[in-house]
Structure 1
Amino acid sequence: MATKLVQLQSKATEASKLVAKHGTGYYRQLLEKNRQYIQEPPTVEKCDLLAKQLFYTRLSSIPGRFEAFWKELDYAKHLLKNRRELKIEDAGIAALFGLECFAWFCAGEIIGRGFTITGYYV
């Protein structure tokens, strides 16, 4: 256990040296590359304004998303009513989507248990 701690400490030291050496250059390069997204003047008031704009823009998009949700649900109901017309490709896509949802559920359960498969800490 002590050797792992020493290895972890040495790796952390290497990483901090790397960040200290190249961090400012990367920071400047990132800011220069994304200059068009920077708001001037960079003040707290400007940040508050942008946060409020984002919040209310997202809030105003809810009716459109709500409408799209109901259209998707109506399409799914239509597919269920007309199962006999269902193509194998559509059934395969639905099966893959269900499998993906199940996989994300399982991953969430594993993460919730602290990254243990059985639920017991080893």
Structure 2
Amino acid sequence: MALTFKLAQLQSKATQASQLVSKHAPLYYKQLLEQNKHYILDPPTVETCNLLSKQLFYTRLASIPGRCEAFHKEMDYVKHIWKNMNELKIEDVSVATLFGLECFAWYCTGEIVGRGFTFTGYYV
């Protein structure tokens, strides 16, 4: 009995939500397009979309050398710090340690989420 009541209540809430969305969605859509019309290219056709996607792809491809250069600068900085480890301050070491711990925590969280929120381990 309680299950059928909850099901009817859920259906009622779903109906209300769909009515609210159907009432306000067209207005929101028009408002969104109006606010961002400077981003829209005329005519909005499939050919225009294909052109934009190719421009995005090749622009990203052209940015790779700049990204590689920035990566090499960062690696040079890390090498310099590694060579001069005796000049490190405790603040720098603590920030690096906290960053490493944060990366490890995100890795563990990703592993747990990837397993469907199950905890597994070795039994002793």
TM over 0.5: yes
Q: 1:79: which partner in 2?
A: 81
Query: Structure 1: how far apart are the matches of 2:10 and 2:98?
Result: 40
Q: 1:59: which partner in 2?
A: 61
- Matched residue type, 2:90: I
Q: 1:50: which partner in 2?
A: 52
Q: Unpaired segments of 5 or more residues in structure 2? A: none
Q: 1:88: which partner in 2?
A: 90
The Cα shift of 1:24 comes to 1.2
TM-score by length of 2: 0.80
Query: Structure 2: how far apart are the matches of 1:108 and 1:87?
Result: 32
The Cα shift of 1:58 comes to 0.2
- Matched residue type, 1:118: F
Q: Quick check: 1:24 aligned with 2:13?
A: no
The Cα shift of 1:96 comes to 2.7
Q: Unpaired segments of 5 or more residues in structure 1? A: none
Q: 2:106: which partner in 1?
A: 104
**Residues 14 and 92 of structure 1, relative CA distance in 2, 3 Å threshold:** farther
Q: 2:16: which partner in 1?
A: 14
Aligned-pair identity in percent equals: 67
**Residues 32 and 49 of structure 1, relative CA distance in 2, 3 Å threshold:** same
SS at match of 2:20: helix
TM-score by length of 1: 0.81
Measured against aligned partners, the alpha-carbon deviations of 1:47-93 in whole angstroms (never above 9, x if no partner) come to 00000000000000001101111110111111111112222332233
Rg (Cα) greater in structure: 2
Aligned residues: 118
Q: 2:119: which partner in 1?
A: 118
